[in-house]
C-alpha cells in the first residue's frame, strides 16, 4: 500500500492511497490517517482513485475516521472511488453516510497546490 499525505493548503490534507485496502494494509492506513485529526486541520480528503479494492477492515478504518471527524468538527471526504469500491460502501449502507466525490478536483476545486 502506497500512502502519501499532502497539506494542499493550510488545514486541508489529502491522503492518497495506492493498492488494495485490506486486512494486510488497513492497520498501516489507520496509523497514518487517524493522527492527522490531532493536527491543526479543517478538512481531510482520502483519494481512493488508485484503490481497486476495499474490505471490511478498510471500511472500519474510515468509519473510525468519520467518528473522529464528527467529534472534532473536521470535514472528512472520500474522493475518486472506483465502481467496485463504491459498491462495497453501498453494500454496507454507508455510501450516504460519507461525503463521497467522484474526483479530488471536485473537493479542492481551483485551489492551487502548495
Partner 1 sequence: MTLPDFKGPVILDIPADPLAMFIVRALVDKISAKIGFEPRQTDKLVLAVDEACTNVIRYAYKSAGDERIVITFSIGPDCFEISIRDFGSGADPQTFQGRDLNDIRPGGLGTHFIKSAVDRFEYDTPPGGGMLLKLTKFLPAEEKAQN
Q: Which residues form the interface with partner 1 (CB under 8 A)? A: 20, 22-24, 53, 55-57, 59-61, 63-64, 66-67, 83-84, 87-88, 91-94, 97
Calpha distance 75→99 (Å, rounded): 9
Nearer to partner 1, 16 or 61 (CB): 61
* 85 Cβ contact partners less than 8 Å away, ≥ 6 residues apart: 48, 51, 52, 53, 54
Strand partners, 45: 14, 77
Nearer to partner 1, 83 or 112 (CB): 83
In the block, which residue shows the cell 498501516?
A: 28
Report in angstroms how near the CB of residue 31 gets to partner 1 at its nearest: 14
Nearer to partner 1, 78 or 104 (CB): 78
Amino acid at each position: 500500500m502506497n500512502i502519501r499525505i499532502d497539506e494542499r493548503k493550510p488545514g486541508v490534507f489529502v491522503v492518497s492511497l495506492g493498492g488494495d485496502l485490506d486486512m494486510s494494509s488497513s492497520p498501516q492506513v489507520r496509523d497514518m490517517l487517524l493522527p492527522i485529526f490531532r493536527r491543526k486541520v479543517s478538512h481531510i480528503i482520502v483519494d481512493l482513485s488508485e484503490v481497486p479494492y476495499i474490505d471490511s477492515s478498510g471500511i472500519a478504518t474510515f468509519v473510525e475516521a468519520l467518528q473522529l471527524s464528527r467529534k472534532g468538527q473536521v470535514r472528512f471526504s472520500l474522493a475518486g472511488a472506483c465502481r467496485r469500491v463504491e459498491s462495497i460502501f453501498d453494500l454496507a449502507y454507508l455510501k450516504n453516510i460519507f461525503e463521497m466525490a467522484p474526483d479530488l478536483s471536485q473537493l479542492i476545486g481551483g485551489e492551487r497546490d502548495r
